[in-house]
Amino acid sequence: MKAKIAEIFEGIQGEGIYTGIRQVFIRFYGCNLSCKFCDTRLNSYREFDSRELLKRIRSFDIGYHSVSLTGGEPLLQSDFLIKFLPKLKKRVYLETNGTLPEKLNQAIDQIDIVAVDIKIPSSTGLRDFWDEHTKFLEIASKKEVFIKVVICKSTKSEDIRRAIKLIANFNKNIPFILQPNSFEMGKELTKKLIDFQDFCCHYLSYVRVIPQIHKFLGLR
């Protein structure tokens, strides 16, 4: 069995509560969504079997914190992951759009940290995924989990309220990250971020505004 991999590299995590840590990134090819703010358009890949991928990961001899499964959407290749991850023997950090709960359930035992992007319709330009996100968090909550929401100029307060309700129904202490759309940075978006943070803090214990730091540093 082989996985479709767009790239493998070591670098600095630029998003969420683990911003700044060193990771080895495995960028899986393919996604089941097409968000309007997407900054990762993948048009090529190479196929790796487990042995080849392990060899490549082990070539990075830095003291990295974890291996990040990113994409695209890594869970589209869950059949490969459930065979590969037990062999990895490293801390596993999954970056996911949180819409494929059945596939997460197959791999959750081998994952340590789940970074979930809640895809709210006024940001993505897509339909809502509240049912999928609810089922996903039921599974992800077995492990360390935090949630990101991309905030755009178009993001509506009712979608933020819905996201807050979803999180609070599980655990109000789950970290909630408001991540600005890097294509729309400016005073208008900054004000929206601060207003949303003020509102969210009434209901959740851990709310932060964190931009994509790797972009400020000129990294991938």
DSSP string across 89-143: -S-EEEEE-S--HHHHHHHGGG-SEEEEE---HHHHSS---HHHHHHHHHHHTTS
How confident is the model over 128-176, as pLDDT tens digits? 999 999 999 999 999 999 999 999 999 999 999 999 999 999 999 999 9
Q: How confident is the model at residue 123 (pLDDT cuts 50, 70, 90)?
A: very high
Angle of helix 187-200 versus helix 157-170 axis, rounded to 10: 40
Q: What is the domain-level CATH number for residue 108?
A: 3.20.20.70
For residue 61, pLDDT over 80 is answered with no
Per-residue pLDDT, averaged over 14-36, amounts to 96
Q: What is the pLDDT of residue 208?
A: 98
Query: What is this structure's pTM?
Result: 0.96
Average pLDDT along the chain: 96
pLDDT at 220 over 80: no
Domain range for 73 is 2-216
Based on the structure, what is the number of domains in the chain?
Answer: 1
Tell me: pLDDT of 62 over 80.
no
